[in-house]
Structure 1
Amino acid sequence: MVNEVAQGLRTLEDGAAWFSLLSEVERRAVLREVAGYAMQAHITAADGSAGVARSSVKPTANACVMICMDPPRYGFAALPAEEHLTAFRVLVSVFSVADTRRRQTYCKDMCRHAWHNLSAPGKKS
């Protein structure tokens, strides 16, 4: 689901609805996983700012401040449960920006990463 949202195959609202149905333990695990994706995508300060703007979350929210720090802070799973949805929206949005940048540069025309070669839901690759 996360990579489908990051690549625009599903909306951020679809992802947020899916995330909201998870238990607190599952939400924390997803936050750790997406933070790992963001780290692997080597997010930049520009990615953080663009992702925060895309997330529709107030820039003063804890998750926004954390992701825009230099270097970014990734302790989103440690945030209080009431901040998990906000953190998810921010993380997925920032990851989407960074992942798109990397697919257009480092992985262009030669990428074998399965998560970069997704097809729209219901369609076969």
Structure 2
Amino acid sequence: MTEPISDDGRTFRREAEWVVNEIAQGLRTLDSGVSWFSGLPPARRQMVLQEVAGYVMQAHITAADGRAGVALSGVKPTANPSVMICMDPPRYGFAGLPSAEHVEAFRVLVSVFAVADTRRRERYCKGACGHAWHNLPVATEQP
């Protein structure tokens, strides 16, 4: 995968980007990503939530992406992160949620990102994509 977590925030953000994109592309399971996320200290979890919320914004999610992602996430549609992402416009203050809701927020954000990014890869990047994060190598996940 990438370098291990260090005090270097850039290296950590790169690792988070890798994990999230592997999940979005089906190279890593959501549950494996949740295990990785759950093992992080609270401050790092907040950083990841901010990063993934940024990815979701950049993917220009639609209301349909939000609903489909929530359905894939395994999180109840009435949970705070689910409601936030399905609002019009979506609310992105996931890192500000209580720490007890961070795992649900991660599940929702990554799932919504997976839906939106898949749509964009198929529609806009098919065959001519230069985005490094759309061209990941074959799965590296350990069983």
Give the TM-score taking structure 1 as reference length: 0.96
Aligned mate of 1:77, from 95, 116, 130: 95
- Give the whole-Å Cα distance in 2 for the aligned partners of 1:95 and 1:2: 9
5+ residue gaps in structure 1?
none
CA RMSD for the aligned pairs? 1.1
Q: Which residue of 2 aligns with 1:32?
A: 50
Question: CA contact under 8 A between 2:24 and 2:113: conserved in structure 1?
Answer: yes
Aligned mate of 2:85, from 67, 76, 79: 67
Aligned mate of 2:126, from 104, 108, 114: 108
Deviating 4+ runs (over 3 angstroms):
none
Aligned length: 123
Structure 1 position 122, deviation (Å): 3.8
Structure 1 position 57, deviation (Å): 0.4
Q: Which residue of 2 aligns with 1:95?
A: 113
- Give the whole-Å Cα distance in 2 for the aligned partners of 1:70 and 1:108: 29
- Give the whole-Å Cα distance in 1 for the aligned partners of 2:101 and 2:40: 14
Structure 1 position 120, deviation (Å): 2.1
Task: Give a deviation string over 1:39-64, Cα, whole Å, max 9, x none.
Answer: 00000000000000000000000000
